[in-house]
Amino acid sequence: MAQHFHAAGSGVFGERDSRRIVELAPAADNAGFITPVQRALIHRRGWLKMLAPRSAGGAELPLPAVVRLEEEIAAIDGSMGWIVTLCAGAGWFAGFMAPSVARDIIKTRRVCVAGSGAPTDYADVDGAGFRINGRWDYASGAPMATHFTLNAVVREHGQVVLDDAGAALIRAFIVPAKNVVVTPSWDSIGLRASASHSYRIDDAWIGAEHGFVIDPVQATSSGPLYRFPFMSLAFVTLSVNLAGMARHFLRLAEPAIARRRHPSTGLPLVDMPAVAARLRRASDELDAARSHFYRLLDGAWEQLAGGALIGDGVAAALRAASLELVRVARLAVDDLYPYCGLYAAHAQSEINRVWRDFHTATQHTLLLP
């Protein structure tokens, strides 16, 4: 079946898609995973292949288009945005894999690559490959994954292999889901439907070609996407999820506040000058942070597409803009939540789900202030 990649521009995807995600989000939150209809939509739109190389069957879309799409999905449902962002990001790794391996993975029916970045266990050199054992945490989208990526400490003859700097050698690997046991462990207050479970691999042998190094110098695809620094990619894609969820919260906060009256004056809270000013300030500051962020991202991409590399200065500016976007989003949500009333504390209300998703996402290590 032909796939259609929907990305940038106003109206990032159709009203029908938006409506369907909105309708299904409460059920997904209650069930602890996105629904079959949501999963079908993700695959039909090709969102999990949008960062994978064209040579492997992916879309290889410009990064600014992908980032805008991820923000728009998160602005409708945090869990779905988180899954698309993390799993599409893992698909980007195909640009660093052996081309034959990348093609085999990306052409998999309903391919979904989940994974974890922390090198919590081991890969032992075994002949022409590695034998992997261990447990890894927080693999968003784990129940739908066809493949899992992981970082592992390399050992040989039982001894940790050291890199050129004398530190433990860590390699990235991709493993078919048939070699993986998903361990239900995700019991967070928010992003429930992301199903970011742990997974275990018991004595699985994989060929050396299933290892890869995420470094522009070692990219196997020549497009500008694979010259974009990994940490910069992580910062920009994660931060826009927070921006999207904050925008969602602000949309819901105003009507929630409008339902309440000041206990002394009896006036609607939303008409109180101080509260109205808080609403305006939250919206204006978030818009300003987003505009600055996208100006930097678009400029970095233009530079990269023109053949230049992203230097340390640009990478540092992208990180700073990403963290500032997260900081402003935090302030906006936390400043307005107390005015939203008990309705916002009700577990089944939409605004409560957005609040829970937002604060769960802020706990990602890279997003620490």
In this prediction, residue 150 carries a pLDDT of 98
Distance CA 3, CA 8 (A): 16
pLDDT band at 7 (very low <50, low <70, confident <90, very high): very low
Residue 353 structure tokens: 């789900």
Residue 143 CB: number of other CB atoms within 10 A?
16
Give the class (CATH, top level) of 113-217: mainly beta
Phi first, then psi, for residue 354 (nearest 5°) are -65, -45
Contact predicate 331/242, CB 8 Å:
no
What mean pLDDT is predicted for residues 349-369? 96
Residue 303 CB: number of other CB atoms within 10 A?
15
What's the pLDDT tens digit per position in 153-177? 999 999 999 999 999 999 999 999 9
Average pLDDT across the chain, whole number: 95
CA 251 to the chain's CA centroid:
22
CA 314 to the chain's CA centroid:
21
Contact predicate 353/312, CB 8 Å:
no
Question: DSSP characters for 43-111?
Answer: HHHTGGGTTS-GGGT-----HHHHHHHHHHHHTT-HHHHHHHHHHHHHHHGGGGS-HHHHHHHHTSTT-
Distance CA 38, CA 317 (A): 35
What's the pLDDT tens digit per position in 253-295? 999 999 998 888 888 898 899 999 999 999 999 999 999 999 9
Residue 93 structure tokens: 């790794």
The percent of residues above 70 in pLDDT, for the chain, comes to 96
pLDDT band at 6 (very low <50, low <70, confident <90, very high): very low
Q: Smallest Cα–Cα separation from 242: which of 318, 333, 316, 320?
A: 333
Residue 195 structure tokens: 């199903």
What mean pLDDT is predicted for residues 33-52? 97
Contact predicate 139/197, CB 8 Å:
yes
pLDDT at residue 5 tops 80: no
Tell me the CATH number for domain 228-367.
Answer: 1.20.140.10
Q: How far is CA 120 from CA 24, 134, 152, in A?
A: 35, 7, 7
Q: Is the dihedral of CA 41, 44, 45, 50 positive or negative?
A: positive
Query: Any idea which fold 15-106 has?
Result: Butyryl-Coa Dehydrogenase, subunit A; domain 1 (1.10.540)
Domain boundaries along the sequence of the chain: 15-106, 113-217, 228-367
Residue 258 CA neighbour count, 13 Å, CB half: 6
Longest dimension (CA), the chain: 78
Distance CA 246, CA 223 (A): 33
pLDDT band at 9 (very low <50, low <70, confident <90, very high): very low
pTM: 0.95
Contact predicate 175/121, CB 8 Å:
no
Q: Smallest Cα–Cα separation from 148: which of 113, 181, 182, 118?
A: 113
Tell me the pairing of strands 159-160 and 121-126: unpaired
CB proximity list for 264: less than 8 A, separation 6 or greater: none
